[in-house]
Structure 1
Amino acid sequence: MKIVILDGHTENPGDLSWADFETLGELSVYDRTRPEQTAERIGDAEIVITNKTVIDERILTACPSIRYIGVLATGYNVVDTAAAAKRGIPVCNIPTYGTDAVAQYVFALLLECCHHVGHHAGTVRQGRWCSSLDFCYWDYPLMELKGKTMGFIGFGRIGQRAAEIARAFGMRTVAYNRSQSERGAQLAEYLPLEELLTVSDVISLHCPLFPETKGMINRKSLALCRDGVILINTARGPLVQEEDLAEALESGKVGFYAADVASVEPIPADSPLLTAKNCLITPHIAWAPRESRERLMKIAVENLRAFLNGKPQNQVN
């Protein structure tokens, strides 16, 4: 059984081990794979593990030996799942590994918006405090979270975990989701989307990327928001119409945008968000604490072992 991992570097830059995969077959690991290399590197392998390397109809046709595709992530839009299903190839993802890490990161971003810790620490190193006439100074308005309303668009595992943290800060929590659960209702008040937009001081995106959610944060929806709203995005970049958001940041309609994702990744040098004011973007690292990646690795191996035992798990097609 030949196993090929096409782009293993982000999951394991050297601090983890692929040893458990090696117990299941003849393993080849590549740090990165360019599109023109994909078919050649898969070759006659039966098991293909990918993170962001695209597996489409062309690759499936060129590599007829494929029996299983594992995705080292929750999102699986890099795989043509319908084409795989036609060939009887299960596609399995990792749905639960990063819940706590991503929820924690939501508040890393939000607290930076509230206090601008990085900026102010930088001014101290530059000598401004040493020469200050006063015992303190601040360059941005500082915000206390208690009593503010935090709205969650998408309220699955990560959204609910983040709501627990928000409540610990003394925030009111509201949520919009296509379906409503009993546990969700214990953590937030479910509202229609338009109402959530109008009442929230902070909005955090947690919904998947579907045709109906693409660009859902746009000029029209932003117009419904409170002036100065803080928008957090740790979900998917294309949920946001970035040109409209940049305009809203410049006008002050959006007080701050903090995101760990972009519509195109890596973010293009000409993205309007790179020059927009009050915009904080990090390079898609919310998922990446070692503890989280260890869970991901374990589940990926369990997914493959389950397939080899004839009982695929976490199958998305």
Structure 2
Amino acid sequence: MSTVVADKLKTIKPLNNIADSGLKVFNQEQYVVDNNCEDPDAIVVRSFNMHAMDFGANLKAIARAGAGVNNIPVDKCTDQGIVVFNTPGANANAVKELVLTSLMASSRNLYDGVAWTKTLAAEGDKVPKLVEAGKKQFVGKEIKGKTLGIIGLGAIGALVANDALDLDMEVIGFDPFISVDTAWKLSRNVRRAMTIEQLFAESDYITVHVPFTKDTGGMFNKETFSIMKDGVYILNFSRGELVNEDDMAEALESGKVGKFITDFPNEKVLKMKNTICTPHLGASTEESEENCAIMAARQVKDFLETGNIQNSVNFPNASLPFTGKRRVTAFHHNVPNMVGQITSAISSYHLNIADMVNRSRGGYAYTMIDIDEKVNGETIPGLLAKINQIDGIVKVRVI
């Protein structure tokens, strides 16, 4: 069942504490930010679980102020013609800094050393001698000259790779889907692994920066551990589900994995030997939260005002310079003659088409059509209704 959506005063509903710098993107002349709105034009969210929510016909967009969208029912949104945005790269520097901090700190046994030193608080004047006597148990190793394997060379992975080179590490990367933009930003000194097995075999440290999918789930397991060097350090600041936890516990116990550093602790992981757990701090910086909020808000604002789409996880990215004249946008099934039927509906109102873009993604497509002259406001409801009658239309609006 398709939905007709006409323009009106735009309402934004935050589902978490979204940084003020992001909400200020929505100017008061055109937008209302309302935490209690039941049927907003758009939702901005961080970690709020939306899977049990019902969405009104007016909802056009959901923006996740962060990279992961596991808390959003993406398939349901697609079926209802709701575009879902994320903010790749906005928190990349924050995650990169924590990865490199954890890499160095774990290599030098800093976490264990700090924890042990705090136990000496009641020893008074004995502390200096106890420190000198006990420090040998925390002898670590330097990362200089060691090989860091990076799985996933997106916004975060590329930053980690470049900075690890500056720390005099050898860097090998694996990413069969690397984008052209990322490739331009990546140092030429990053070696390319032709297979993930090559990366596993050559790395002293491995850090992973890929989303959780049916293909990546449990990618760290007994079989892949067997390929790795003895004592390898594994860092996971992406998703907990990438690791088979039972196999990881065995590998840590045997020493096959020297240390496991993860941002996704649970009861099982906390009980594992040689595991360093951080409380999901990857993107938790003041700067990152502001960057994500601003980027999410700008993407929503641009979509609501122009129909342009960038960084969507379910719609195709599409952009067309906005001239201020009427624009028809339609989200529809990716089947033959859809564009022809839409343009015929527009032509039936004796309207000329000035520009058009059509992009597809899987079984769906998105079409934007600019009309060459002013459109009488009374024409819009009829035009929307006529396009809406086309079989395969999911959501249509006129901007």
Q: TM-score range by the shorter chain?
A: 0.7 to 0.9
Q: Which residue of 2 aligns with 1:7?
A: 16
Alignment of 1:1-317 (within 5 A): 1-8=10-17, 12=19, 18-21=23-26, 23=28, 24-29=30-35, 43-56=38-51, 59-60=53-54, 63-125=56-118, 126=120, 127=123, 129-132=127-130, 134=132, 137-180=135-178, 182-183=183-184, 184=186, 186-191=188-193, 192-262=195-265, 267=266, 271-310=267-306, 311-317=308-314
Q: 2: CA distance between counterparts of 1:46 and 1:170?
A: 49
Report which stretch shifted further, 78-87 or 199-208: 78-87
- For the residue of structure 1 that corresponds to 2:107, the secondary structure is helix
Letter in structure 2 aligned against 1:314: N
Q: 1: CA distance between counterparts of 2:25 and 2:187?
A: 40
1:25-51 deviation digits (Å, cap 9, x = unpaired): 22234xxxxxxxxxxx55222222222
Q: Is the 8 A contact 1:149 1:173 kept in 2?
A: yes
1:96-123 deviation digits (Å, cap 9, x = unpaired): 1012111111111111211122332343
1:277-315 deviation digits (Å, cap 9, x = unpaired): 110111111112111112112112211210121223322
Q: 2: CA distance between counterparts of 1:246 and 1:28?
A: 46
- For the residue of structure 2 that corresponds to 1:235, the secondary structure is coil
Instruction: Give the deviation of 1:145 after TM superposition.
Output: 0.8
Q: Is the 8 A contact 1:154 1:175 kept in 2?
A: yes
Instruction: Give the deviation of 1:82 after TM superposition.
Output: 2.9
1:105-160 deviation digits (Å, cap 9, x = unpaired): 11111112111223323434414742338477232340111111110111112111
Letter in structure 1 aligned against 2:294: K
Q: Which residue of 2 aligns with 1:36?
A: none
- For the residue of structure 2 that corresponds to 1:196, the secondary structure is helix
Instruction: Give the deviation of 1:179 after TM superposition.
Output: 3.0
Q: 2: CA distance between counterparts of 1:77 and 1:121?
A: 35
Aligned pair in 2 of structure 1 residues 18, 309: CA closer, same or farther (>3 Å)? closer
Q: 2: CA distance between counterparts of 1:298 and 1:147?
A: 39
Task: Give the CA RMSD over aligned residues.
Answer: 2.3
Report which stretch shifted further, 19-28 or 286-295: 19-28
Q: 2: CA distance between counterparts of 1:133 and 1:306?
A: 58
- For the residue of structure 2 that corresponds to 1:308, the secondary structure is helix
Q: Is the 8 A contact 2:22 2:290 kept in 1?
A: no
Give the structure-1-normalised TM-score.
0.84
Instruction: Give the deviation of 1:22 after TM superposition.
Output: 6.1
Q: 1: CA distance between counterparts of 2:148 and 2:231?
A: 13
Aligned residues between the structures: 293
Letter in structure 1 aligned against 2:250: E
Which structure's residues are more often strand, by fraction? 2
Question: Structure 2 unaligned runs (5+)?
Answer: 1-9, 315-399
Aligned pair in 2 of structure 1 residues 129, 298: CA closer, same or farther (>3 Å)? same
Give the structure-2-normalised TM-score.
0.68
**CA radius of gyration, larger in:** 2
1:252-280 deviation digits (Å, cap 9, x = unpaired): 11100111135xxxx3xxx3211111101
Q: Which residue of 1 aligns with 2:331?
A: none
Aligned pair in 2 of structure 1 residues 17, 207: CA closer, same or farther (>3 Å)? closer
Aligned pair in 2 of structure 1 residues 17, 151: CA closer, same or farther (>3 Å)? closer
Question: Structure 1 unaligned runs (5+)?
Answer: 30-40
Letter in structure 1 aligned against 2:228: C
Sequence identity of aligned pairs in percent? 27
Q: Is the 8 A contact 1:42 1:48 kept in 2?
A: no
Q: 2: CA distance between counterparts of 1:42 and 1:312?
A: 24
